Structure 1
Amino acid sequence: MNKKVSLIGVPMDLGQGRRGVDMGPSAIRYAHVIERLEKLDYDVIDLGDLGIPNPQDRARNGENLKCLDEVAQVNTELAERVHTIVEEGRFPLVLGGDHSIAIGTLAGVAKHKKNLGVIWYDAHADINTGETSPSGNIHGMSLAVGLGYGHERLTQILGYSPKIKPEHVVIIGARDLDEGEKQLIKKLGIKVFTMHEIDRLGMTYVMEEAIKHVSNGTDGVHLSLDLDGLDPHDAPGVGTPVRGGISYRESHLAMEILAEADILTSAEFVEVNPILDHGNTTANVAVALLGSLFGEKLL
């Protein structure tokens, strides 16, 4: 993995319905993420946090897209910053914030990759559109936007669409899908490892197959990890918890296998909500998983 890491925080909660996730980047920093990576001999530059607008009205607009203007603005700035990080030959590590920030991360990274592979580690597929979303929350649409589905204010960030191809995407840990998402997943033929597959086949098999899938015909791999992919028992501080998730130990194993594969070119960790947490547990989990992802070993 690239030993030069540029970290950027996106303290945004405009893409979802529960306040507090805007404090996620601060919580992860407080859990000593920079010190953890520096101890592993990474050259870490902390670029600070993006500025986030504060809209007066968070209600749905006529297109069922809450805070569209603000989410588009922040993701455009994030895409430009990530684009610059990659140009400088550094590894972009983005801390959220809600999962709508993946729109900007993918736009900035994929600008440099003709065929970017994506591992979407999440309880949800985030592949809704304004037409299918029950809530209008854009954090549930970010993968769809990357694939070219959704409002053009979002899909056309940095002037191109789609950012990624469905055959290069793997979703891991899914256990809460809306009907519209199920239909689009089937239509596009996206590879999904639900909790059923993880329970039945084991995390080692799932990760090995996922790595094969996202490495086939790609020129880079991005990890988008939502902490609600883990079971709420292990990661309580998330806005949309779903019982029956991936365990803490299974997640460490997944990160360790990814580290050994040495395929990642960018990553983001999102949806840490300190207001809903207990003693910063979820941010500490995020940092521990980042340690494994970046090559930390017991011996």
Structure 2
Amino acid sequence: MKTVEFISAEIGEGAQQMGCKFGPARLRAMGLVARLRTAGQPAQWGPTVTAHDELLEAGKLAVVQGFTPELADASHAATAADRFPVVLGGDHSCAIGTWSGIAQALKPQGALGLIWIDAHLDSHTPDTSESGAPHGMPLAALLGHGDAQLTDVFGWRGKLAPEQVVVIGARSYEPGEQALLQRLGVRVMYMPEVLERGIAACMAEALERVCAGTAGWGVTLDLDAIDPADAPGVGSPEAGGIPAADVLAALSGLAKRPGCAGFELVELNPSLDDSVHTSAKLCRSLIEAVALAPAVELAGDPATALARAA
């Protein structure tokens, strides 16, 4: 049983709404380590990596450029020590550091596969992004496209191969980023497909893809993939998302699945959460589902899978 190592990725400067920088601290205050240990799962707090906001004078991209190598070193160290990294963001630009570090640790054994659950494609480059917000660029960077300081962490690019990446739940995106993913051949399950097939079937296919020919795989979950009725505390809410119960079912036992190398949960903005902390509590439940529940079969109805995992 690997030790779960929580890594706090305190960055909001890559987003328009910077309050998600305080998401990791909000989750840390909820006693995650103690709860996992009580349930018999070894867990510890790892590094806290904090963005240098003084770099904002040079722009949002400069902040992310400075932050990314530090987070990459943290996730690399956890993986190399045979721990299970759970990275708590922060805006989704932190994914560049998270998965660059894990890819570097796995590189001697082979490639990294990744499931990207998000309302957005996050596949802009500085040339295609109208907002210039780096939290819309991390998947492109991991695929080797965009700013060289983000694509070439550890001195090499292409941390992810297109055929070993699956995006689930996208419903808000721009033509430039969509064109890049289409050209590369990345499998994207847009929200209508998720609603038609169900998240269980989509996850089952995604797992087949990210496990094929890889040394390990992971999941990055942007909280805005979930319907805003269930997760209001996000900076870029999009109506018609995945129900929280379905996501909980799909992620149950994730850490127990062969080859799973890490999990990332991003974009919780405590300042936008409701008065009873619905989004933060959901994050806690998601983490516990990933780390504590037994792996469940994903071919059936998600409600049934969730009941088996409970």
How far residue 57 of structure 1 moved from its aligned partner, in angstroms, is 4.3
Is 1:19 the equivalent of 2:15? Answer: no
Q: Quick check: 1:216 aligned with 2:215?
A: no
3-state SS in 2 of match to 1:38 = helix
Structure 2 equivalent of residue 280 of structure 1: 277
- RMSD of the TM alignment (CA)? 1.7
Distance in 1 (alpha carbons) for counterparts of 2:112 and 2:214: 6
2:103 is equivalent to residue 107 of structure 1: no
Query: In the alignment, is the contact (CA less than 8 A) between 2:15 and 2:133 conserved in 1?
Result: yes
Q: Which residue of 1 aligns with 2:166?
A: 170
Q: C-alpha distance in 1, partners of 2:184/2:205?
A: 19
Compute the displacement of 1:258 (Å).
Answer: 3.7
Question: Is 2:240 the counterpart of 1:244?
Answer: yes
Are the equivalent residues in 1 in contact too, given 2:37–2:43 (CA < 8 A)? yes
Instruction: Identify unmatched segments of 5+ residues in structure 2.
Output: 295-308
Q: CA contact under 8 A between 1:207 and 1:257: conserved in structure 2?
A: no
Change (3 A) 1:272 1:185: same
Match of 2:251 in 1: 255
Question: What one-letter code is carried by the residue in structure 2 that aligns with 1:192?
Answer: V
Query: What SS does the aligned partner of 1:129 have?
Result: coil
Alignment match, 1:123: 119
| 1:7 aligned partner | 6
Inter-partner Cα distance in structure 2 for 1:283 and 1:101: 19
Verify the 8 A CA contact 1:95 1:269 in the aligned structure 2: yes
Say if 2:85 is the partner of 1:97.
no
Contact 1:32-1:287 within 8 A present in 2 as well: no
What SS does the corresponding residue of 1:254 show, helix, strand or coil? helix
Per-residue deviation, residues 63-122 of structure 1 (Å, max 9, x unmatched): xxx422221111111111111111211111111110000010111000022310101011
Conserved? CA contact 2:13–2:56, under 8 Å: no
CA distance 1:57–1:216, shift in 2 (3 Å) = closer
Shift of 1:260: 6.2
Pick 1 or 2: higher relative contact order, CA cutoff 8 A, min separation 6: 1
Q: CA deviation at 1:245?
A: 0.2
In the alignment, what sits opposite 2:298?
none
Kindly indicate whether the alpha-carbon contact (under 8 Å) linking 2:3 and 2:41 is maintained by their aligned counterparts in 1: yes
CA distance in 2: counterparts of 1:39 and 1:110, whole angstroms: 31
Distance in 1 between the 2:230 and 2:218 partners?
A: 24
Q: Determine if contact 2:56/2:62 at 8 Å carries over to the other structure.
A: no
In structure 1, how many angstroms separate the alpha carbons of the residues matched to 2:116 and 2:231?
A: 17
SS at match of 2:210: helix
> Is 1:180 the equivalent of 2:179?
no
TM-score norm. by structure 2 comes to 0.89
Matched, 1:40 2:56: no
Aligned structure 1 segments of 4 or more residues deviating by more than 6 angstroms: none
User: Can you list the C-alpha shifts for 1:112-156, whole angstroms capped at 9, x where unaligned?
Assistant: 223101010110110100111121000100010000000111111
